[in-house]
Amino acid sequence: MIELRDAVSADQPALIALWRLMDSLHAQLLPRFFRHPTAAAVPARAREQIDRILRATDEVVRVAVEGGVLLGLCHTQVYDTPPQPSLTPCRRAHIDSLVVAESARRRGIGRKLVDDAASWGRSKGASEMVLTVWTGNHGAERFYHALGFDRVSSVLGRAL
C-alpha cells in the first residue's frame, strides 16, 4: 500500500536519487539548458537546499512510500501573483518537481502525488495549480493533460 507523507531529512539520499532521475531526463531533452548529472557531479540538489525546503512554510516535498521504499516525490510551492494592474490577484500552487521511480510508474503514484499537492495548495489558500513541462517531455504532457491541466503559457528561447 502506498503511503504519502512529508519528506524528512533522513529521506535525502532517496530524494537526491529521484531528482537525479528527473535531471537526467531534462539533460537528454535540453542539453543546452541542463547538465547531465553524473556520479562525480554535485548532487541533483544540495543537502542545504533540501534542508531549507523541508523547513519552509510556503513549500513542501511530499513522498510516496511503499514497504519503506521511497517511490516518488512532489515538490510544491505556493506564491501570490505580483501586484500588477494587469494581473488578477491569485495564490497559486506550483509543482516544481514530480518524479516517480521508473520501476513504480503506471501505478497511479504520480496522480496521487498531484492530488495531494492540490490538497496541500488549497490548505495554503491557493486557488490554482501550475507547473512547467519542458519541451520534448511528451509523456508528462499527456499525463498532466489527463489530470485536467491546460497550457497557459509558452516560454521560447534561442541561442545568442
Query: What was the pLDDT predicted at 154?
Result: 87
For 79, list phi and psi in degrees, rounded to 5. -155, 155
DSSP string over 31-56: TTT-PPP-TTSPPSS-HHHHHHHHH-
Say if pTM beats, i.e. exceeds, 0.85: yes
Q: Which amino acid is at 81?
A: T
C-alpha cell at 118: 492540490
Q: Are 35 and 75 in contact (CB under 8 A)?
A: no
Query: What was the pLDDT predicted at 66?
Result: 96
- As a whole number of angstroms, the distance between CA 20 and CA 14 comes to 10
Q: Are 22 and 75 in contact (CB under 8 A)?
A: no
Query: What was the pLDDT predicted at 37?
Result: 67
Give all domains of the chain, ordered by start, each with its CATH number. 3-146 (3.40.630.30)
Q: Which amino acid is at 112?
A: K
Across the chain, which has 160 residues, the per-10-residue mean pLDDT values are 95 90 79 67 67 92 96 96 82 96 94 98 96 90 96 87
- As a whole number of angstroms, the distance between CA 52 and CA 68 comes to 24
Q: CA 90: distance to chain centroid?
A: 20
Give the residue among 42, 40, 59 at the shortest CA–CA distance from 51. 59
